[in-house]
A and B are shown apart, each in its own frame.
Chain A
Amino acid sequence: MSLGDKLEKLDRRWIFLLMGVLVLLPLLFPLKLPIAVSGPASRFYQAVENVPNGSIVVISGDFDPASAPELMPMTNSAVRHLFRKNCRIIALELWPGGPPLVDGVLHRIGNELGKKYGTDYVNLGYKSGNEVVMLAFGSTFSGTFPNDYSGTPVSKLPLMEDVDNFDGVKLLVNISAGTPGTKEWVQQAQGRYHIPMVSGSTAVQSPELYPYLQSGQLLGLLGGMAGAAEYEKSTNFLGPATKGMDAQSSAHVYIMFLILLGNVIYFSRRGAKG
């Protein structure tokens, strides 16, 4: 049996095992490979930076635990960046799994930076209805979300007295894992209310969103863990995304090697068959 035959019949579990090892080792022994900040991530940072200090910003955390490794680091960085600028944050979630994740980030970083719930930030929680919620939210925040995530009427939250629609909002930050997410926010809110918008999305979704960046509908875009790591670098807070990029790179090299190997075997066997 030739090497090509052996490799073709290789038990796929060996490939999984090697992938596991190649991801695990750089996490245990970091290589500290350099991270270059790309244009879209730099524009995301700049868009947040350009928001006047103390402004009201809406964050829509449209994701759930399944995409947390990619999206939690960028949520952390965005919240930290906005709080450092003394921006006040109104958060909402259009995915049922999102509220506890976003709530955790807001409270943890809010406590760390001395922010007060209700005055500096609120979490309105989850609402089903996708695009209809976006439309309704654009008309009235309090009508769409009469209570916040913990059940407190929004009329009792000082921050919500200052704003009830997108007129008073300087930036919409969407952290998106799919539908509903950035695509829908661009269609329903950015286009309709002309609100400046940035997006942090899963890598899978990113290619679909680049046209919005090119057209200026999005002011910035973070794509997957790499985008999150670039944003962490821009904000000088090295978190889990940065620490995961060595493993990401080593896995990518391994996959490139497998693709090349698969092609070499395929073409060599096709050549042998004549």
Chain B
Amino acid sequence: MWIAAALTLFIFSFLYKDNPLYKFAEHLFVGVSAGYIVVQQFWQVLWPNLIEPIQTPGTLDVWKFWVGGILCLLLFTRFSAKASWLSRFAIAIIIGVYAGAKTTGFAQAEVVAQVQATMLPLWNPAHLADSFNNIVLAVGVVCTLVFFFFSTEHKGFVGGTAKLGIWYLMVSFGAAYGFTVMSRISLLIGRFQFLLDNWLGIVRF
């Protein structure tokens, strides 16, 4: 507890000015994080998903694990100028799998579902508030898309629409900034709660 509290105060000391205590905490964090990730990757990923199945007699389709393991080792050939071309096989598979997974997922979740969600009834006398929200949304989508349409000069009607698009973007940037402030203040609150509760025991959260 005392170590955590001291390291928190060391980091806070940077607000006054850069100093050796801050540097110490910063370097310690980087070192511990790197070590932690190596251990996690080995025991949570490599061991159960590669080494253990290969070691265990009777594992079904054990050749798949060997292929994966060899491709994994090929990545390390990048350290040799002569053999680095071998790493391209593994990289090609990684890129291919990620590109395939991302493209199909993105097409469904970001294109189809989002376009569908924008096709809303603009006028519903029974739900006037919904109608207003739907109009605001539809106008915002169209105007913002026009702002990003650069094949026509932004003059006249197109210019006015694009300008409205900028206003929509500004509102979204403002909302994003407000949320960012809330996030950063939350981190400060979290540290203060730790110092006051866990360390000093003055207040219970």
Which residue of chain A has the shortest Cβ distance to B43 in the bound complex? A151
Cβ < 8 Å to A, chain B residues 87-106: 97-98, 101-102, 104-106
Which residues of chain A have C-beta atoms less than 8 A from B185's C-beta? Answer: 23, 247-248, 251-252
B52 touching A192, Cβ below 8 Å: no
- Flag whether A147 is at the interface (Cβ < 8 A): yes
Stretch at the interface among A78-86, A109-117, A166-174, A183-191: A183-191
Cβ < 8 Å to B, chain A residues 216-242: 216-217, 223-226, 239-240
- Flag whether A40 is at the interface (Cβ < 8 A): no
Which residues of chain B have C-beta atoms less than 8 A from A31's C-beta? Answer: none
Question: Once bound together, how far apart are the Cα atoms of A57 and B143, in whole Å?
Answer: 40
A217 touching B109, Cβ below 8 Å: yes
B26 CB to closest chain A CB (Å) equals 14
- Flag whether B189 is at the interface (Cβ < 8 A): yes
How many residues in B have their beta carbons less than 8 Å from beta carbons of A? 49
Number of A-B contacts (CB under 8 A): 148
Question: Once bound together, how far apart are the Cα atoms of A132 and B68, in whole Å?
Answer: 14
B182 touching A215, Cβ below 8 Å: no
Which residue of chain A has the shortest Cβ distance to B40 in the bound complex? A96
- Flag whether A195 is at the interface (Cβ < 8 A): no
- A interface, size bucket: 35 or more
Cβ contacts A235-271/B at 8 Å (1 or 0 each):
0000110011001100110010000000000000000
Which residues of chain A have C-beta atoms less than 8 A from B124's C-beta? Answer: none
Cβ contacts B169-192/A at 8 Å (1 or 0 each):
000100110011111011111111
- Flag whether A63 is at the interface (Cβ < 8 A): no
- Flag whether B19 is at the interface (Cβ < 8 A): no
Given known A191-B109, A217-B113, contact A126–B44 (CB-CB < 8 A): yes
